[in-house]
Amino acid sequence: MIAAVIVLYNPDMLLLDRLMRSVIGQVEKSFVIDNTPESTANFSSFFDQYQANISYISLGENKGIATAQNIGIRKSIEAGYSHVLLLDQDSTLSDDMVKKLLEAEGELIHAGEKVAAVGPLFVEQKTGKPSHAIRHKLLWVKRIKINLSSNQQHESDYIISSGALIRTSVFTQIGAMLDELFIDWVDIEWGLRAQRLGYKCFIIPRAVLKHSLGDTVVRIPGRDVNLHNDTRHYYMVRNATYLLRLKTMGLSWRIVTALKVPQYVVFYSWHSQRKTTSVRLLLGAFWDGICGKLGRVD
């Protein structure tokens, strides 16, 4: 029995409709957690058209993706579901994606793997390019290209939350998402925490998810970089800086990220339309991370 946990924040209604139509029939229940400020229960009528088992929960304010996910996870556990499927509002599931993830998880567990999560190969909607598996080495990150036609399961140090299929039982050992991060690095922190406890995350290429990361894409030698607005970049810099203190992140990630944080400040500010403001904001984010000042920034 699988419950989808779908987090909303000022959703594009066309994209939301596309998501809902792709997930219906693949899960037994959907918990829709709405972070949109001043959202009301009246919005729940939107979901009546799908004639599916959907529970809409308005938080009335933006409590962050981690808190919203935790609310959905907790409700899934309380209702007795065996798995949760985490989803963002701008994702679209391929046919039988959940079935393929569930089959792959069973194969991995049968093979003796301690599985934290299995996730689809997500394809960036703006570029059409598939994601990579990530493996951290001591001073660098290995990005493993994955073929869409591959039947192999690829271990990754972490996977993005949207599309991640997780057994509810593993939250007892690994724990929930870190509420205080609010947004950004939430899935990475959880994946590396799981890895520290001996669990593994896997990308399943035969399961595909279309997903959009960021507002724009900038091409640099060797890879594409997704850019967001200045506020999102604040969370990215602040949380990365804060997580450097956590041993659960692993030495390799901490070394690589410590070298990258100054680059984030420079790169994001350079591509901001308000460069001076961005520099000040991101330097403040760095300081807040050092001081452990977390939660939502106003």
* Rama region for 67: left / alpha / beta (φ>0; ψ in -120 to 50; rest): alpha
In a 13 Å sphere around the CA of 187, the CA atoms on its Cβ side amount to 21
Cα–Cα distance, 294 to 298 (Å, whole number): 12
Return the structure tokens found at 112. 């003796």
Cα–Cα distance, 47 to 20 (Å, whole number): 9
Q: What share of the chain is helix, strand, coil (3-state, %, to 5)?
A: 40, 25, 35
Each of the 298 residues of the chain gets a pLDDT tens digit; together they read: 999 999 999 999 999 999 999 999 999 999 999 999 977 666 888 999 998 999 999 999 999 999 999 999 999 999 999 999 999 999 999 999 999 999 999 999 999 999 999 999 988 776 778 889 999 988 889 999 998 888 889 999 999 999 999 999 999 999 999 999 999 999 999 999 999 999 999 999 999 998 776 557 666 666 666 777 989 999 999 999 999 999 999 999 999 999 999 999 998 989 888 989 999 999 999 999 999 999 999 7
- Alpha-carbon separation of residue 68 from 5, 33, 181 (angstroms): 9, 6, 12
Cα–Cα distance, 40 to 133 (Å, whole number): 39
Place of tokens 């919203």: 68
Return the structure tokens found at 205. 């290429």
Cα–Cα distance, 154 to 111 (Å, whole number): 14
CB 161 within 8 Å of CB 85: no
**What are the tens digits of pLDDT across the range 49-91?**
998 999 999 999 999 999 999 999 999 999 999 999 999 999 9
Domain 2-211 has CATH 3.90.550.10: yes
Place of tokens 């595909």: 208
Domain boundaries, the chain: 2-211, 216-291
> What pLDDT, on the 0 to 100 scale, is given for residue 280?
96
> What pLDDT, on the 0 to 100 scale, is given for residue 40?
66
CB 82 within 8 Å of CB 145: no
Crossing angle (nearest 10°) for helices 251-270 and 275-291 = 160
> What pLDDT, on the 0 to 100 scale, is given for residue 23?
97
Q: Hey, which residues does 254 pair with through a beta bridge?
A: none
| Short-list 68, 30, 42, CA closest to 179 | 68
Q: What does the DSSP 8-state code read for residue 183?
A: S
> What pLDDT, on the 0 to 100 scale, is given for residue 220?
62
Q: Hey, which residues does 218 pair with through a beta bridge?
A: 225
High-pLDDT (> 90) share of the chain, %: 78
Q: Where are the beta strands (DSSP E) in the chain?
A: 2-8, 29-34, 54-58, 83-88, 92-93, 115-124, 132-136, 141-145, 154-156, 165-167, 200-211, 216-220, 223-227
> What pLDDT, on the 0 to 100 scale, is given for residue 218?
64
